Amino acid sequence: MKNTLFIIVTIVLFWSCQKSETNVTVEQIVEQAAKEVQTITVEELKTKIDSFEMFNLIDVREPSEHNHGFIPGSVNIPRGILEFNIGNEEFWESTGFYFPETTEEFILYCKKGSRSILAAEAIKKLGYKNVKIITDGFKKWELTYPLLQEKNLDLESHGGEAEVGGC
């Protein structure tokens, strides 16, 4: 009996001392989040814009990226402060846009798609119901509709900042 108990305790201690592998990569986090995010193509977005549909277009890139080129009608809310500003009425007033309801359609984009996937996941957790991302991000819009973008180059404070956030 003592030997059996000793063996069971030894096995339990051995298993409890094993180092579990819990490290994940950013790519794995994005891949998991992407399973829960709806997408829209740039062609579908262009159709929505042309038909004057109502939706909220959010650019989650950094201001330096946004200022060099963005989809007309988009609001720049960088990924790092999105959760703080998306539901902040004062923020929306400062942009000149109305304060949107959580049930409205939100379409998010970044350079290639990864940041917008994480951003969409975050605002869905905050209660936003109809959230989509642009497949392949601004890069796809820029290649498909090179003449349909706006720029705010005069807002650059240091001129020529290095590109950030390659995803």
Q: Which of 61, 62, 59 is nearest to 157 (CA)?
A: 62
The identity of residue 40, as a single letter, is I
The least confident of 10-19, 46-55, 121-130, 149-158 is: 10-19
Residue labelled with tokens 């973008």: 149
Domains of the chain by residue range: 36-146
Instruction: Give the pTM.
Output: 0.79
Across the range 37-61, mean pLDDT stands at 97
What pLDDT does residue 153 have? Answer: 78
Give the CA dihedral 161, 40, 49, 154, nearest 10 degrees.
0
- 117 vs 35: CA distance, rounded Å: 9
Across the range 39-51, mean pLDDT stands at 97
- 13 vs 51: CA distance, rounded Å: 65
Q: Name the band, by pLDDT with cuts 50, 70 and 90, for residue 9.
A: low
Residue labelled with tokens 């956030």: 165
Across the range 86-112, mean pLDDT stands at 95
The identity of residue 117, as a single letter, is I
Q: For domain 36-146, which CATH number applies: 3.30.470.20, 3.30.450.40, 3.90.550.10, 3.40.250.10?
A: 3.40.250.10
- 15 vs 17: CA distance, rounded Å: 5
Residue 79, pLDDT above cutoff 50: yes
